Copies of this chain bind each other. A is one copy, B any other.
Amino acid sequence: MPRPSPAATAKPAGGPAALPAPPAFRPLYLQIKDLLVRSLDAREWHPGEAIPSEPVLAARFGVSQGTVRKAIDALAADNLVVRRQGKGTFVATHTEEAHSTFRFLHIRRDDGVDEYPASRIVDVKRGKSGDEVARLLGLAPGDAVVVVRRLLDWDGAAAVLDEITLPAALFRGLTRAKLAAYEGSMYGFFETAFGVRMIAAHERLKAVAAPAEAAALLGVAPGTPLLEVDRVAFTYGGRPVEFRRGLCSTTRHHYFNALG
């Protein structure tokens, strides 16, 4: 069966058209990967669920199991799915995965204890997006947003103050009560409550002097140098869906990054 498949027909194909430079060639396994991403984006399988087995997907797409394997390998490299030998391949989720809990949390204790911080909601407000946030989130200036402020406590002491700005259209019905009631990470909450899955982010760090209110909440003197962490987080397709500004006291904590 030399692949008379629908996916395969979308291959190089193009006759002697006068297209000069662009790739004009996308490997089959990457086409399969794109199709799987679309299925993930369309919520065909839920987080934590197993996707169909490799032989099943191979039949579905009319390619060999080896090609499906390469596609899934690429998905796993992007942390969109998790492979588990003998069990299956599962849609990545923020509600489990104890091992990758720190994928989006780079603040660590100086003493090396790998303790996960507790979240304490300060307030939840609705408002209109400013120009800068609108630009970062791909909104129109003035679009409705929800702004959450929360503290992260390690061992009972606050070290991070986060201000999280979300497009109101995607997070309808977000209330302080629901947020406070949820056990687990905020991205786990977004995933289960709103079907919004964060899969990547960009962070920009600066050092700033603590403003009065933040200083009070973090228990430091105003003007103390703090780490400012600005994050834009993305779902499938690189669509930005969260802007977050964190202020971190670095007296007993630090931001960790592994360069490979």
Contact = CB atoms under 8 A, between A and B. Distances in A.
Interface string A161-205: 000000000000000000000000000000000000000111111
A99 B254 CA distance: 29
Given A209-B225, A225-B226, A204 B259 contact: no
Contact of A208 (B104, B225, B257): B225
Contacts of A248: 207
Which range contains the number of A residues in contact with the other chain? 20 to 34
B207 A225 contact: yes
A87 interface: no
A204 B255 CA distance: 5
B226 A259 contact: no
A200 B79 contact: no
Nearest to A73: B73
A78 interface: yes
A191 to B, nearest CB: 16
A106 B104 CA distance: 18
Contacts of A208: 207, 225, 250
A23 interface: no
Q: Which 10 A-B pairs have the closest CB atoms?
A: A225-B225, A207-B225, A206-B250, A207-B207, A205-B255, A201-B259, A204-B254, A207-B227, A203-B257, A207-B250
A228 B248 CA distance: 13
A258 interface: yes
A78 B260 contact: yes
Contacts of A258: 200-203
A45 interface: no
A260 B200 contact: yes
Nearest to A199: B260
17 contacts: A78-B260, A79-B260, A106-B257, A200-B260, A202-B257, A202-B259, A203-B256, A205-B227, A205-B255, A205-B256, A206-B254, A207-B207, A207-B226, A207-B228, A209-B225, A227-B227, A257-B257
B204 A256 contact: yes
Interface in A128-178: none
